[in-house]
Structure 1
Amino acid sequence: MTHRYKVREIAQQAGLSEATVDRVLHDRPGVRENTRAEVQQAITDLDKQRTQLKLNGRKFLFDVVMQTPARFSTEFRSALEAELPMLSPAVVRCRFHLRETESVPRMVEDLTRIAAKGSHGVIVKAPDDPDVVATIDHLVEVGIPVVTYVTDVPDSKRSSYVGIDNRAAGATAAYLVDSWLADGDAAVLIVSTSNIFRNEGEREMGFRSTLRALGSERGTAGRRVVEITDSEGLDETVELLVEHALAEHDRLEAVYSIGGGNTGAVRAFERLGRRCRVFVGHDLDSDNRRLLRSGSVSAILHHDLRADARLACRILMQEGGGVGGVEGERSPIQILTRFNAPHSSH
């Protein structure tokens, strides 16, 4: 049988005789299983070396486009820049287009500009909107692959989604909140950024459905849920919205913060002299790290930003013919408390 490597190459890599390798490749009898495994490992190693040779001298320029509070984009940028040297021998550079304001026209504008200038790939955190879908499709059509990050745009021609299973994250938050509240009729406040990002809707659905299911297991209707939205994750806006919610609902004793602005939410409870028994949020940014240490936040649902950055870049490199065998997979959800949270998120 033919093979992509010469028998001599495989034999040198495996430290075996050419005759032994030939018997393995032709599936002849009289070869031990561990010897077959050694030959297969040698072929795998040669594949990796060939990939490294293909990457030698290759240069990639990726664009990162995000509409998100600066506390998260800063964390992701630091994680990505820390990971770039690990992608050698290829040379990877990134341009960053970061906005705190959520706007579909601005997102379309940023992506359209990239399509005109050219890029080897785009990592984007974008609203799931028809205009955004059309613009991502245009990028792909002109030869620029796209990876969606944190929140997906599944109807577009993007190559892959990188991030957590957001519905599972919402379900996890519901389990934590309900367990820590235990018995009683305490209500829960959901704080979201806006309704234009798919991930926030998925987290909310996972949270609500799981909270109902947990209530049903106890033979109750489930906890009351109060929602505030359109905060853009900004502390000042969140603080005002939470104050209004607390003034109208005297049983609010827990918070599930889907999108951020947690410092503002904590201040609102403190200003009104109300106790927040359970507070679950997302992402170990500088604010949440401080709030965890102080005990103001009970738990943070987090994911490894460096692993995300590495996977996103490798998917784009694969689209450019630089590597192979890269498959998208969901990021593991980490539950962090003040007892196990690292000093740095990456």
Structure 2
Amino acid sequence: MGHAFRIREIARQAGLSEATVDRVLNTRGGVRPDTTAEIHRAIADLERQRTQVRLTGRTFLVDLVMQTPERFSAAVRRALDAELPLLRPAAIRVRYHLRETGTPDDLVTTLARIRRRGSDGVILKGPDVPDVVQAVDDLADAGVPVLTLVTDLPGSRRAAYVGIDNQAAGATAAYLISQWLGDRPGDVLLTLSRGYFHGEEQRKAGFRAALGDRSVVEIDNSDGLDRTMRGLVERLPAGDLAAVYSVGGGNAAIVEAFGAHRPVFVAHDLDADNRRLLREGALSAVLHHDLNQDVRRACHLLLRIHGALPGPVVSMSSNIQVVTPFNVPLPPDRPHAEAAP
């Protein structure tokens, strides 16, 4: 395995012992396949981040912990990859703990392992349940600051929240749908990934409060995954639905389940699926916030906590941008504009 990193460096990135890393690098066996895969991922992460580290002095090791569809975690990783080199002379190296599904207990186990191994900070997207709140408080007791991203844990001792104002986002979706529908009859479909995410509950509360008397059909526990969402939506009488507010994703599956029926459709996040659906006219609007700005703010807050940057440690809300098929921002990896439909 060719690389230019010391065993100690790989072990710290992977969160494993130096002895385990040594066994894998020297192919001595006796290591589980998933542990071997973690070491390979750690080396790949080090390779990707090495340019930034080479240009800097002090290095901070941060853990990104997310339960979210891969399309969103991939977008956060891309944003971090773009922002980390801009932080010099400080350097942040990231360990990734990403899952699409799982129980809160799985997340608690991950946070407990980070606490035992040590970290300069955790950026967390997780459910707002008592055990996760306690795990965050335990990290704070151990001197590991936690920043919540996109969805908050307001009852915990997290250091700050970074992300969209979710209640305002839900109210914005209700306003758009109400304007488009006018007096047209029909119910509104509201879809969530998991109701225990505080951000999704805030979006739902803002939406219902601003929508008025129109009837709402709600779907939960989809994990925002197409394979789950499709089965849930196919059970509904699509013709009775005049609009959709997708809080948690799985939008391609919703569109496929509706077939030729095209309701007013408001969704979140400019991932590849939503860009395509906007171009095809399947989505009416996407509520977008700048992920690069979010992760940049999170990194700056961690540096402030450690005294590497001046300034207060306070929660920061992202601006909500209403994106239609005619004003889609350029994706960061494409130099040319996308044509409107």
1:170 and 2:170 are equivalent in the alignment = yes
1:102–1:232 contact (8 Å) kept in structure 2: no
User: Which residue type is aligned with residue 338 of structure 1?
Assistant: P
2:241–2:263 contact (8 Å) kept in structure 1: no
Partner SS for 2:207: helix
1:340 and 2:331 are equivalent in the alignment = no
Of residues 260, 276, 280, the one that matches 1:294 is: 280
1:80–1:309 contact (8 Å) kept in structure 2: yes
Q: What is the TM-score with the length of structure 2 in the denominator?
A: 0.79
User: Which residue type is aligned with residue 299 of structure 1?
Assistant: A
Partner SS for 2:72: helix
Task: Provide the aligned C-alpha RMSD in A.
Answer: 1.5
Q: Number of residue pairs matched?
A: 278
**Cα displacement (A) at 1:345:** 6.0
Partner SS for 1:280: strand
**Cα displacement (A) at 1:58:** 1.6
After superposition, residues 174-185 of structure 1 pair within 5 angstroms as: 174-185=174-185
State the identity as a percent: 53
After superposition, residues 43-192 of structure 1 pair within 5 angstroms as: 57-192=57-192
Unaligned runs of 5+ in 1: 1-54, 213-221
1:241 and 2:227 are equivalent in the alignment = no
Task: Look up the match of 1:268.
Answer: 257
User: Could you tell me how far apart the structure 1 residues matched to 2:160 and 2:255 are?
Assistant: 36
**Cα displacement (A) at 1:236:** 1.9
Task: Look up the match of 1:314.
Answer: 300
Partner SS for 2:317: coil
Of residues 259, 266, 274, the one that matches 2:248 is: 259
User: Which residue type is aligned with residue 229 of structure 2?
Assistant: V
Unaligned runs of 5+ in 2: 1-54, 334-341
User: Which residue type is aligned with residue 296 of structure 1?
Assistant: A
Partner SS for 1:245: coil
Task: Look up the match of 2:217.
Answer: 226
Partner SS for 2:164: coil
**Cα displacement (A) at 1:234:** 1.0
2:185–2:242 contact (8 Å) kept in structure 1: no
**Cα displacement (A) at 1:260:** 0.3
User: Which residue type is aligned with residue 235 of structure 1?
Assistant: D
1:195–1:229 contact (8 Å) kept in structure 2: yes
Task: Look up the match of 2:264.
Answer: 278
User: Could you tell me how far apart the structure 1 residues matched to 2:321 and 2:172 are?
Assistant: 10
Residues 251-280 of structure 1, C-alpha deviation per residue, up to 9 Å, x if partnerless?
21211000000000000100xx4x223100
2:171–2:210 contact (8 Å) kept in structure 1: yes
Task: Look up the match of 1:206.
Answer: 206
Partner SS for 2:318: coil
1:305–1:345 contact (8 Å) kept in structure 2: no
Give runs of ≥4 in structure 1 deviating > 3 Å: none
User: Could you tell me how far apart the structure 1 residues matched to 2:137 and 2:310 are?
Assistant: 23
Q: What is the TM-score with the length of structure 1 in the denominator?
A: 0.78
User: Could you tell me how far apart the structure 2 residues matched to 1:233 and 1:329 are?
Assistant: 25
Residues 85-129 of structure 1, C-alpha deviation per residue, up to 9 Å, x if partnerless?
110011111111000004201110111111111110000001001
1:181–1:277 contact (8 Å) kept in structure 2: no
User: Could you tell me how far apart the structure 2 residues matched to 1:295 and 1:321 are?
Assistant: 48
1:170–1:206 contact (8 Å) kept in structure 2: yes
**Cα displacement (A) at 1:223:** 1.3
Residues 191-215 of structure 1, C-alpha deviation per residue, up to 9 Å, x if partnerless?
1111111111110111011001xxx
**Cα displacement (A) at 1:56:** 6.4
Residues 263-299 of structure 1, C-alpha deviation per residue, up to 9 Å, x if partnerless?
00000100xx4x2231000011111111111111111
